[in-house]
A and B are shown apart, each in its own frame.
Chain A
């Protein structure tokens, strides 16, 4: 079952930073936070993941709070192509497999 809570929808102006929050208050110490996004009618696309340190890659930054109960995905300069549903996922511990349990995600609309 999904272990995360996300707002159902958000808007962001083109060129501005998009900050997508996620609550995962029951996360265990060895569970990772993953972010995927799904553009309409396509398969989900990996964005970034982290355990407890902040992470950055060419697509986004992931900020995880010190108590690990919440995180924020940051798209630094949102474009129209970033309009998608964003899923925050807590991956189960290694010995139970690497399947993901998706919630309903946040539908991000980037406005021109």
Chain B
């Protein structure tokens, strides 16, 4: 049973560019949440997708957007990259329809903006 997978593992971008990160949830899960983790900090909630819609959103600007596909996989898009967007981006999946709130995290994508 595959856990949560994320791609790519590492990424280097230049200020002003756009980036797309990908996440495949744990088998059987229907909900994907994205988190940003700056160095030395705890993960910060970006948004959550369920039934292909953004269900909840944290305190992040509109430059951060996402999508969930019919197979429950998800993408995180960040436009007009800033140096401050350098972080570990974590994807977590859960089975909201089943009433379980335990989230399973992927290994993350390390984004460096230069």
Could you list which residues of chain A lie within 8 angstroms of chain B, going by C-beta atoms? 2, 32, 34, 36, 41-46, 49, 85, 87, 91, 94, 96-105
A-B contact count (CB 8 A): 59
**Interface flag for B20 (CB, 8 Å):** no
Please provide the chain B residues from 27 to 63 with a CB less than 8 Å away from any CB of chain A in the complex: 31, 33, 35, 40-45, 48, 55-56, 58
Q: How large is the interface on B (under 10, 10 to 19, 20 to 34, 35 or more residues)?
A: 20 to 34
B residues with CB within 8 A of A: 4, 31, 33, 35, 40-45, 48, 55-56, 58, 88, 90, 92, 94, 96, 101-108
Contact A100 B45 (CB under 8 A): yes
Which residues on the A side are within 8 Å of B4 (C-beta)?
43
| Nearest opposing residue in chain A for B55, CB measure | A97
Question: Taking the nearest CB of chain A, how far is it from the CB of B56, in angstroms?
Answer: 4
- B104→A46 contact, CB < 8 A: yes
Whether the pair B107, A43 counts as a contact (CB closer than 8 A) is yes
